Amino acid sequence: MNAPRKETLRQLWGESAVEYRDHVKKFATHRRISLLLLSALTRSPKSILDFGCGPGNSTRLLRKFFPEAHIVGIDSSPEMIRLAQSETEPGLNIAYRCSDLTSSEESGGSFDVIFCSNSLFHVDDKSQLLSRFREILKPGGCVVFSMYEFLFQPQGEISWPYAEAITDSLIPHVVEKLQGYGYPVVSRKEDREIFREIDLKDLFLARGLIVRCAGIIRINRTWEERRSFFRIPSVAQEVFPNVPTEDVRRALDSVSLDSVYPDQERNVYGFVAEMA
């Protein structure tokens, strides 16, 4: 990945740290996604790396499930790591480190599980990251990760309740407002890679990892939750990359909380990748 973009993303996560922490405390979606990944673990790991641990929400959940495990949380944003440290009681015995894993500070064969709750899809250079994952996994270890349905396209039909059409009225409203402010925006824009099932499998296989879907949950987000989410700077920039965050917020704030917007339902997929 080019260095300026990497640095910009790191800064955006830093600016987003407090709001992200408040958002995940108020709404259950991220916790549900972490629980989906936890349910994919079939053995009790002795050592876990929580990659992209953010303010430590997923890391502390791991501690609840695995009281004896050695747990390390890493995040490339120093602000996130500071929050994680201040929000975690020392007795929980979690080691937090500011890192994006590109240096060799985690030694080979260290972890039974690499836990990527809401984090893998934020990384641009996934090939390089997976190579590092492969190095630091213990033999027989696994990577677990989550993907939203707009970033992952399964092959074949998915049956009820996962096949309902996606409806959205909040984003069209925001787009209309942004157009009114003079931005040539026509829809939300993903600046992240969208994977077909076969591409995801190939990406992992090239690094000696076999990936399989371990579960799906249906998340139901009120538009109040979605508005809170899109206000987070890193999220606002992912969805509307060429619009300043303040204007995305202005458009979101113009939506009356009393408006009747239907909840949005989405699938989230949990995956496990094991050594080939």
Ligand X SMILES: C[S@@+](CC[C@H](N)C(=O)[O-])C[C@H]1O[C@@H](n2cnc3c(N)ncnc32)[C@H](O)[C@@H]1O
- Which residues contribute to the site for ligand X (CB under 6 A)? 13, 24, 30, 34, 52-54, 57-58, 74-77, 80, 100, 117-119, 122-123
> Rounded to a whole number, what is the distance in angstroms from the first to the last CA of the chain?
27
By beta-carbon proximity to ligand X, the closer residue of 74 and 272 is 74
11 backbone dihedrals φ, ψ, rounded to 5°: -65, -40
Report, in Å, the least distance between residue 78 CB and ligand X.
10
Distance of CA 220 to the CA centre of its chain: 17
By beta-carbon proximity to ligand X, the closer residue of 111 and 261 is 111
* Nearest C-alpha neighbor of 53 from the set 84, 27, 32: 84
By beta-carbon proximity to ligand X, the closer residue of 56 and 141 is 56
By beta-carbon proximity to ligand X, the closer residue of 118 and 267 is 118
Report, in Å, the least distance between residue 60 CB and ligand X.
10
Pairing of strands 137-148, 94-98: unpaired
Report, in Å, the least distance between residue 74 CB and ligand X.
6
According to DSSP H, which parts of 27-110 are helical? 29-39, 57-65, 78-87
Report, in Å, the least distance between residue 3 CB and ligand X.
12
Report, in Å, the least distance between residue 109 CB and ligand X.
20
By beta-carbon proximity to ligand X, the closer residue of 98 and 213 is 98
Q: Which amino acid is at 134?
A: R
By beta-carbon proximity to ligand X, the closer residue of 54 and 233 is 54
Q: CB burial class (10 A; 0-12, 13-18, 19+) of residue 140? A: exposed
Tokens encoding 129? 């990251």
By beta-carbon proximity to ligand X, the closer residue of 225 and 261 is 225
Report, in Å, the least distance between residue 240 CB and ligand X.
17
Report, in Å, the least distance between residue 15 CB and ligand X.
11
* Nearest C-alpha neighbor of 272 from the set 91, 44, 41, 89: 41
For residue 1, CA distances in Å to 6, 7, 40, 101, 130 come to: 7, 10, 30, 14, 14
* Nearest C-alpha neighbor of 114 from the set 41, 44, 49: 49
Whether omega before 161 lies within 30 degrees of 0, making that bond cis, reads yes
